[in-house]
Amino acid sequence: MRSKLLASEKGRILLQSLMKRLDKGLVPLLDHVAEKKLVVDLQDVFKRFGFDTSFVLITGVDPGCLSFEMPHMEFARALDEAEEAILYRHVKPEMVWEMQRWFGFGDELKIKKAHSTFDRICSKCIVSKRDEIARGDIDSFSKDLSMSYMNLDTTKYKLLNPSNEKFLRDIIVNFMVAGRDSTGSALTWFFFLLSKNPKAITKIRQEINAKLSPGTKNFESFNSEEVKELVYLHGALCETLRLYPPVPFQNKPPINSDVLPSGHKVDASSKIFIFLYSLGRMKSVWGEDASEFKPERWISESGRLIHVPSFKFLSFNAGPRTCLGKDVVMTNMKTIAVKIIQNYEIKVIEGHKVEPFPSIILYMKHGLKVTVTKRCNLI
């Protein structure tokens, strides 16, 4: 219960931070791109948006990655390098990557350099926060998560050590990966799928006009409860996560020898990979139309959302490992989608090649190059 309450509170803060980044970051950038008739990498835009939103939430510092100049993001680049390299730890023999780490070459060198970047940037943030605490700047306590962790009561949370800089660094990096990558990946594939399914965009716009009040549509008086009622949009996002899960595979090594429900015996030394990307396309699981983008798959005849067991739809994991913030994530993605779909036409450049990039996060290898046009008629 404590974990759910904590996740709910963090979700509320995250939504507030997201709304600010929408109005002061994403919208001005998309307006600029539309006005100048530029071609932009929408994947890069979403990654920048996620990076700014998460970094402000966690550290209280706005890195300004969504400025018109699209500045180089050293921390974000280090995350990309580390995620790509970590993928190969799952497929290479352990002896090989441990040797690379020992001698400092190959993918392990990328991880080492990324760690150095994380240490340097996080250290600056941590020192700054400790200075604020030393000055008695109590007002800053509720502004960001890093300061919340620094002020934890260690008598209640004995396994945590907020005085340890490595602990705080890991907290920052963990939240950055969770806040930037999964949402950025999902939204990129979402708008790619919508570009191939214009009827879905029409249905989403009709639903927005029918179910959202003018204040919520224009974000003048945002109502997150109304956004939750967008059933077709929810189905479209679930279809995206089914076909293009942000984390495309999971590694589940057994602690002890066991027998799977299928009857297969596994040893403690086994590596069990669950490929969510393949699972979402299996006809035996999803039916003969498994490869099709069908938001209706998630909607009943009465217009309500159909419950799909988490062990079938694994994008938010399952069982005791289920993501505590999945409802918050869906609300955030709907919020961003409503803002963009209501106000802009997104068109993928003709001939642009779209294919997955090998990493622990399912991004597009060549990004998603698009043009942006402001919509005049919002009906």
Element (H, E) at 258: strand 258-259
Q: What is the C-alpha separation between 170 and 166, in angstroms, rounded?
A: 6
Backbone angles phi, psi at 275, to 5 degrees: -95, 95
Query: Which pair of tokens denotes residue 192?
Result: 């790619």
What residue segments make up the domains of the chain, in order of their start? 2-374
Q: What is the pLDDT of residue 141?
A: 43
Answer for the pair 279, 314: CB distance below 8 angstroms, yes or no.
yes
Q: What is the pLDDT of residue 12?
A: 59
Residues in the chain: 379
Element (H, E) at 343: helix 326-343
Give the CA dihedral 225, 231, 234, 236, nearest 10 degrees.
Answer: -150
Query: Which pair of tokens denotes residue 277?
Result: 């990307």
Q: What is the pLDDT of residue 355?
A: 94
Q: What is the pLDDT of residue 93?
A: 83
Query: Which pair of tokens denotes residue 284?
Result: 């035996």
End-to-end CA separation in angstroms for the chain: 42
Task: Using alpha carbons, list the distances in angstroms from residue 277 to 43, 102, 249, 291, 371.
Answer: 19, 33, 7, 11, 28
Q: What is the C-alpha separation between 225 and 179, in angstroms, rounded?
A: 21
Tell whether the torsion through CA atoms of 25, 26, 32 and 35 is positive or negative. Answer: negative
Looking at domain 2-374, its CATH architecture is Orthogonal Bundle (1.10)
Task: Please state whether beta strands 344-348 and 265-266 pair in parallel, antiparallel, or not at all (unpaired).
Answer: unpaired
Q: What is the C-alpha separation between 58 and 14, in angstroms, rounded?
A: 10
Q: What is the pLDDT of residue 341?
A: 95
Buried/exposed code over 136-148 (b: 16+ C-beta within 10 A; e: otherwise):
eeeeeeebbbbbb
Q: What is the C-alpha separation between 238 and 258, in angstroms, rounded?
A: 32
Buried/exposed code over 25-49 (b: 16+ C-beta within 10 A; e: otherwise):
bbbebbeebbeeeeebbbbbbbbbb
Secondary structure of 140-209 in HEC code, one letter for each residue: HHHCCHHHHHHCCCCCCCCCCCCCCHHHHHHHHHHHHHHHHHHHHHHHHHHHHHHHHCHHHHHHHHHHHH
Q: What is the pLDDT of residue 329?
A: 87
Q: What is the pLDDT of residue 13?
A: 62
- pTM equals 0.86
Answer for the pair 194, 200: CB distance below 8 angstroms, yes or no.
yes
Query: Which pair of tokens denotes residue 247?
Result: 């984390």
SS3 assignment, position 374: strand
Q: What's the mean per-residue pLDDT of the chain? A: 85
- pLDDT by residue for the chain (379 residues), tens digit each? 444 444 455 555 666 777 888 888 999 999 999 999 999 999 999 999 998 888 888 888 888 888 898 888 899 889 988 888 888 888 788 888 889 888 888 889 999 999 999 999 888 888 887 777 777 665 544 467 776 677 666 566 555 555 577 888 888 888 888 778 889 999 999 999 999 999 999 999 999 999 987 766 666 656 777 888 899 999 999 999 999 999 998 888 888 999 988 888 999 878 888 899 999 999 999 999 999 999 999 999 999 999 999 989 999 988 888 887 788 889 889 999 999 999 999 999 999 999 998 888 999 999 999 999 999 755 4
Tokens 């990309």 locate to 80
- Amino acid identity of 234? H
Read out DSSP for 82-146? HHHHHHHHHHS-HHHHHHHHHHT-THHHHHHHHHHHHHHHHHHHHHHHHHHHHTT-GGGGGT-HH
Backbone angles phi, psi at 266, to 5 degrees: -130, 140
